[in-house]
Amino acid sequence: MKDVDIINVLKYEAVIGLEVHAQMLTDTKIFCSCSTKFGSEPDTQTCPVCIGMPGALPVLNKKALEFIIKTGLTMNCKISPYSRFARKNYFYPDLPKGYQITQYELPICEHGYVEIAVDGEIKRIGIIRIHMEEDAGKTIHEGEGNYSLVDLNRAGVPLMEIVSEPDIRSPREAMEYMKKLRTILRYLGVCDGNMEQGSLRCDANVSVRPAEQKEFGVKTEIKNLNSFKFVEKALEYEIKRQVKILEEGGKIKQETRLWNSERGITESMRTKEEAHDYRYFPEPDLVPIIVDQKWIDEIQASLPELPDIKRKRFVSEYGLAEYDADLLTSERPLADWYEEAVRLGGQPKAVSNWIMVELMRLLNEENKSIEGCTLKPKQLVDMFKLIEKGTISGKIAKTVFEEMYKTGKDAEDIVRDKGLEQISDEAAIDKAIDDVIAMHPKEVERFRAGEEKLIGFFVGQVMKLTKGKANPKMVNELLKKKLS
Amino acid sequence: MKLYSLTISEARNLLDRKEISVKDLVRSLYERVDAVEERVKAFVTITRDEAFKMAEEVEKEITEKTKVTGPLIGIPLAIKDNICTKGILTTCSSKILSNFISPYESTATSRLIEQGYVLIGKTNMDEFAMGSSTENSGFQVTRNPWNLERIPGGSSGGSASAVASDECIAALGSDTGGSIRQPAALCGVVGLKPTYGRVSRYGLVAFASSLDQIGPITKNVRDAVILMNIISGHDPLDSTSAPLPVPDFTAVLGQEIKGIKIGVPKEYFIEGMDREVEVSVKEAIKNLESLGAISVEVSLPHTGYAVATYYVLATSEASSNLARYDGMRYGLRVEGKDLVDTYMNTRANGFGAEVKRRIMLGTYALSSGYYEAYYRKAQQVRTLIKKDFEKAFQVVDVIVTPTSPTAAFKLGEKIADPLQMYLSDIFTISVNLAGVPGISIPCGFTSNNLPIGLQLIGRHFDEESILKVAYAYEQATEWHKRRPNL
C-alpha cells in the first residue's frame, strides 16, 4: 500500500481496543478434572464433561476463579461479589457441547486499568472487563483427504478474556499494552504468556478518525494476532487500509478480518450481516459465583510485588540504573534470582553486571530463560568471594563462570580442577617477566626509549605465558620495576 | 405368590428371610415382561443378561456377607432411558442416540448400584423427555396398562407403565414439567418429583437444566421413600445439587397428619377440568380432613402464565442442550457434502417432530431482538410464580391439586394438537418452575376404570411433609392396591 501518503495517515488518529485471551496455568480444566498439559496425544486428556457427553455437567475449578481474581486485582478491577456464567451458542466441530461456557452479562472483573510507558510517558489503558471461559478443542487440517480432525485435549482449558477500553492510539501502544499484560500474567503465575503455543492470543478492534473528530469511526475486528510483531504489523496495515478507503471517499465496512501473516495483510472474514447470533443466556448448569470480600482480601494480601513497583525498588534499594532495573524485573524468576544473590552477600551492582552481561549472553545463546538455568545465585556469590580473596582474577572469573553455567560445578572445584588459581608468588612472576624481556629485546629497547604505552604489551605477554593466571596488579608493578 | 407384583419392602422381607432368592425375583419379573411387554411396550432396552449377572453378584455378596444389608439389595428396578447407565444403551428414545452406549454411570444409578439394585431395563419415553404421552418416542408407543388403547402419560410413560404392569418393582423417571407425576397419575402409581437440587442431575441427559429432576415411580409411598433415601443428597459433580443434609424419609411414615394445613389453590379448580377428576380430588381432600388435616383455600395468582412461561424457558434451554447432538463424536451421523450439510442431515434425520418444534421455539426465544420479550420476561414470571408458592406456604404446609386435568386419553387423540398436549401438564408445570417438590398418588378411578392422581406440593426441601400426608392418605384408602388386568 505504498500509495498511501504518510501525511494522510498522520491526518488520522487510530482508535484501538484489544481483546486478549490468556490460557490460565491451572493443572486441571475449568469444569472438570482433566489435565491441561500441552502437547499430549490427541484426545488423551478428555472425559464425559469436556467432551460434551449427554448428561455430563460442569463444575467450576476454584483455582481458575482465584487466578482471575488475582489478575483483576492486579489490573485495578472491581471484583463482582455476584457474577455468573452464560452460554454462547454456535456450531463447530471443535466445540463439543454446541455452546461455549463463558461470562456475558455479569463478568467477574470490571472497570480496571493498566499503565504502559510509551516514549517515556506513562499512559493508562482502561480495562472494561475480565471474564472466565472455556477454550475450544483444536481443529487439525492435515493430509490430502477431504476431512479435518479434532483434538479435544484443549477443550475446557480455562481462559480469561481481558477486554480493553478503546484507549489505544497506535500499533506501538497496542504492542506495549500486550507486553505489559504478558509481564503481569507471568508475574502472577496465571498464564505462561506463550504466544506461539497460543496460550496468549489477541483480537483487535480498530477504527480511524480525522485527528480533530470526536466520534469513533466504523471499526473492524482483526483476528488471529498470535505474536507481538503481528499485533503491530496487522494494526499498521489495517490503519493504512482504512485511511486509504476514507481518503478515496469510501466507507469502512464493519466486519471481521483475519490477519494473513504470510502475505502481511488483513482479509475479510465475515461482514456484520453474516455475524453469528450467539443467543447468550445464563448457564443453568452452574450456580452464580458468589465471592466474599474476605477471600478477595486474602488473595489481595497474597499478590506478589508487581514489575512496576519492583523496578522502582531495585533503583532505590540497590542503586541500579533504570535500564538495568527494568530488565532485571521483566520476569519474576529473574528478579528473584537477582535478589537471592544480593541477599547471599553479592554486591548489588556486581550481581547486576554479571547477570546482564554474562548470564544473559549464555542464556540467549541457548535460547533459554532463567527458569531453565541450573546455575544457582549462591554459586555466583561464592565465585565473587574467590575474586575478593585474590584466588582468581576478574578475567579468569569469566571462564570460571561459563564453566559453572555449563557444568553446574562450584567455582572452587573448577578453579582447583583446572588449576586456575591466580599466581601471586613473586618469584614465579619474576621468572615469567624475565622470560618475556628475554624474548622481546626490541620492545624493551623501545620502552626504555620512552614508548611507555608498550607496558600493555608486556603485561599481555606475561599473562599469556602464565595462561592468564598471574595476579595482574603484581605483574604491573614488577614489570615497571624491571623495565626502568 | 406372584413375585413380580411385590413392592420393594415386601420383596425385602422375603429376601431377608431367605424365602426367595434374588434370581427367583428377577426370573419372575422377566416372566412377567415376557407375558405383557409385547402389549405394553414399556422398555426400549431389556437388560436380561446384565440383570442376571447383577443378581448373581448380589447373591454372592449376600452369602459372603461382603455387603451390609440395605433396603435395595437385589431389588429389580427399571430406569428411564435418559439416565446414563455405563456400558448400556442410553437413547432418550431418540434416533439420534439410538446407538449411544454411555461410557459413564449417572450419580443416581451409581447410588443404586452401591446399594445392590438389579437393572431390569431402560424404559421408553417421549424423545428427550419432550411430551406428555410417550407418543413422541422415536421407537415405539407405550400403552397404558389400564387400557391398552390409551396413552400412559409422559414423558416417563415407560417407567410408569412398567411399574403399573408389574414389569419392575419400581422405577426412576425424570420430571421437567410433570413427566414423573402425570404418567404416575395416569397409570395409577406413585411418582415423586423432588425439590430441584435434591437429587443429582449428573448423568441425566438434559432437556431443561433448570427444571429437570430425577425421581422415583413406585407402587406405594413407602417405596418412594426408600428410593428417595438412596438417590438424594449433594453430588460434587452437579453444581446445582444442594449441599444440604438429607433427612431419613422413613421417619415420616405413620406420622399423624392431624392439624396439618393443606392449601387448595382456587386457580386449579377451573372450568373445563374433567368432572370425574374434580370429584375424586375433592373427595380426597375430604378424606384428608377426616384424618385431621385442615384445608384452606389459597391463591397462586400467576398460575395462568405457567404453561407459557414453561414453554419459553424449557425450550430455550433445550435448544442449547440439544446442540451437542451434531454427529461429530457419538450418536447418529448422516454424512452430507460438507460440514453444514452433515449437521443438517444428522439433525433432520435424528430428531423427531416435537423435538424439532421445541428447538425452533427455544432458538427463537433466545434470538437477539426477542430475548428481552421472551426469555427475560419468562424468567421474571418464573420469579412471580415462585413467590406465589412462597406466599402460600406461609399459610399452609402442603398444597393439594389434581395431578392432571384428565385421566389417560386415547392414543393419537392429542398428538396433532401440541397446545392441547401441553395443557396436560397445566397442574404440574408450576411446581418445576418454582423448584418445589411434588408427589402424585392414586386417588380414584373414572367410570372407565382409569386411574386419577392427587398431587401434593411441598416447600423447598420439605419432601417430608408431602410424603407424610401421602402415606397417611394411602393408609386410609385402597386405590393404590388396585392393579390393571393385563
pLDDT tens sequence across A452-462 = 888 888 888 88
Number of domains in chain B: 2
Q: Tell me the CATH number at B181.
A: 3.90.1300.10
In a domain, B134, yes or no: yes
Q: Does A42 touch chain B (CB under 8 A)?
A: no
Do A280 and A318 share a domain, yes or no? Answer: no
Q: pLDDT at position A5, please?
A: 59
In angstroms, the CA B40 to CA B123 distance is 11
Do A41 and A137 share a domain, yes or no? Answer: yes
Do B165 and B66 share a domain, yes or no? Answer: yes
Q: What type of residue is B75?
A: I
Contact status, residue A185 vs residue A331, Cβ threshold 8 Å: no
Of B364, B379, B394, at which residue does a domain stop? B379
Of B357, B379, B401, at which residue does a domain stop? B379
Do B173 and B38 share a domain, yes or no? Answer: yes
Chain B residues contacting A, CB < 8 Å? 82-84, 90, 92, 97, 100, 102-104, 106, 201-206, 208-210, 236-240, 316-317, 319-320, 322-326, 328-330, 339, 343, 363, 366-368, 371, 375
What is the mean predicted confidence (pLDDT) over B72-98?
A: 97
What is the mean predicted confidence (pLDDT) over B55-79?
A: 88
In a domain, B33, yes or no: yes
Of B341, B357, B379, at which residue does a domain stop? B379
In a domain, B424, yes or no: no
In a domain, B56, yes or no: yes
All three cell numbers of A435, joined, read 622470560
For residue B115, how many other CB atoms are within 10 A of its CB? 21
Confidence category of residue B68, pLDDT binned at 50, 70, 90: low
Q: Which residues of A touch B106 (CB under 8 A)?
A: 55
Q: pLDDT at position A94, please?
A: 95
Do A277 and A320 share a domain, yes or no? Answer: no
pLDDT tens sequence across A277-292 = 999 999 999 999 999 9
Secondary structure (H, E, C), B315-346? HHHHHHHHHHCCCCCCCCCCCCCCHHHHHHHH
Q: pLDDT at position B65, please?
A: 76
In angstroms, the CA B357 to CA B359 distance is 6
Contact status, residue B448 vs residue B410, Cβ threshold 8 Å: no
Q: What type of residue is B174?
A: S
Q: How far is CA A450 from CA A447, A480, A481, in A?
A: 5, 13, 15
Do A123 and A59 share a domain, yes or no? Answer: yes
In a domain, B410, yes or no: no
Q: What type of residue is B151?
A: I
In angstroms, the CA A435 to CA A257 distance is 75
Q: What is the DSSP string of B56-123?
A: HHHHHHHHHT-S---TTTT-EEEEETTB--TTSB--TT-GGGTT-B-SS--HHHHHHHHTT-EEEEEE
Number of domains in chain A: 3
In a domain, B277, yes or no: no
Compute φ and ψ for A163, nearest 5 degrees: -110, 120
In a domain, A350, yes or no: yes
ipTM of the complex: 0.95
**A-to-B residue pairs, Cβ atoms closer than 8 angstroms:** 100
Q: Do A99 and B82 touch (CB under 8 A)?
A: no
Do B153 and B239 share a domain, yes or no? Answer: yes
Confidence category of residue B270, pLDDT binned at 50, 70, 90: confident
Q: What type of residue is A120?
A: G
The residue segments making up the domain with residue B25 are 3-257+438-443+466-481
Please list the active-site residues of B: 80, 155, 179
Of A418, A436, A454, at which residue does a domain stop? A418
Among A244, A199, A248, A241, which residue's Cα sits nearest to residue A222?
A: A241
Q: What percent of chain B has pLDDT over 90?
A: 93
In angstroms, the CA B276 to CA B444 distance is 9
In angstroms, the CA B145 to CA B131 distance is 19
In a domain, A1, yes or no: no
Q: pLDDT at position A395, please?
A: 78
In a domain, B114, yes or no: yes
Do A263 and A371 share a domain, yes or no? Answer: no
Do A79 and A184 share a domain, yes or no? Answer: yes
Do A454 and A361 share a domain, yes or no? Answer: no
Do B58 and B158 share a domain, yes or no? Answer: yes
In angstroms, the CA A216 to CA A12 distance is 11
Q: Which residues of chain A have pLDDT under 50?
A: 1
Of B203, B240, B324, the CB nearest to A97: B324
Q: Does A98 touch chain B (CB under 8 A)?
A: yes
| Helix, strand or coil, per DSSP, at residue B163 | helix
In a domain, B47, yes or no: yes
Do B318 and B208 share a domain, yes or no? Answer: no
Do A341 and A262 share a domain, yes or no? Answer: no
Do B167 and B236 share a domain, yes or no? Answer: yes
Q: Tell me the CATH number at A437.
A: 1.10.10.410
Of A418, A442, A473, at which residue does a domain stop? A418
In a domain, A380, yes or no: yes
Do B112 and B12 share a domain, yes or no? Answer: yes
Q: Is B275 exposed, middle or buried (0-12, 13-18, 19+ CB in 10 A)?
A: exposed
pLDDT tens sequence across B305-333 = 999 999 999 999 999 999 999 999 999 99
Q: What is the DSSP string of B342-362?
A: HHHHHHHHHS-HHHHHHHHHH
Shortest CA distance from B236: residue in chain A = A59
Do A148 and A208 share a domain, yes or no? Answer: yes
- In sequence order, the β-bridge partners of residue A116 are A123
What pTM, to 2 d.p., does this model score? 0.89
Do A234 and A87 share a domain, yes or no? Answer: yes
Do A97 and A205 share a domain, yes or no? Answer: yes
User: Quick one: angle between helices B221-231 and B463-476, nearest 10?
Assistant: 160
Q: pLDDT at position A110, please?
A: 97
Q: Does A60 touch chain B (CB under 8 A)?
A: yes
pLDDT tens sequence across B393-406 = 999 999 999 999 99
The residue segments making up the domain with residue A432 are 426-483
Compute φ and ψ for A150, nearest 5 degrees: -120, 130
Q: Do B84 and A286 touch (CB under 8 A)?
A: no
In angstroms, the CA B32 to CA A108 distance is 57
